[in-house]
Amino acid sequence: MRDATLELIQQYYAAFNAGDMDVFLNLLTDDVIHDINQGGREVGRDAFAAFMDRMNGSYQEELVDIEVMVNADGSRAAAEFVVLGKYLKSDPGLPEAKGQNYRLPAGAFFEVRDGKVARISNYYNLEDWIAQVS
């Protein structure tokens, strides 16, 4: 199961980087839990799809230097990576978007169930991002 989870998380990030939202979303359980960095918790693939629509409208991002770690039974994983991004459209409550570029270290934690991502919790330093785009 460990190898299957490693492959799942690698597919998750490959689909994200390719902008293939169909593949990306199909790697999630129907009741996926999404813990938003410094935000709330959303439940369900439809809620995650709506979140990604908002994000893809405001940000152009590529994840690089991805390192994935998986526990022994494959039920949990973690990833560390760097976000290379461009701020395209202003996000409410954040600085005005003017096409600013940013480079942001980030991490994520996953729960895996039945070969799919059942929980994703993303973390990054929002203050660092604000300083880079201000």
pLDDT, tens only, 34-74: 999 988 899 999 999 999 999 999 999 999 999 999 999 99
Domain extent, residue 19, equals: 2-133
CATH number for the domain harbouring residue 120? 3.10.450.50
Distance CA(83)–CA(107), nearest Å, equals: 10
What pTM value is reported for the model? 0.92
pLDDT in tens, 91-127: 988 999 999 999 999 999 999 999 999 999 999 999 9
Distance CA(31)–CA(45), nearest Å, equals: 6
Domain count, the chain: 1
What contacts 26, CB < 8 A, 6 or more positions away?
none
Beta strand extents in the chain (DSSP E only): 28-35, 41-43, 59-70, 76-87, 101-113, 116-124
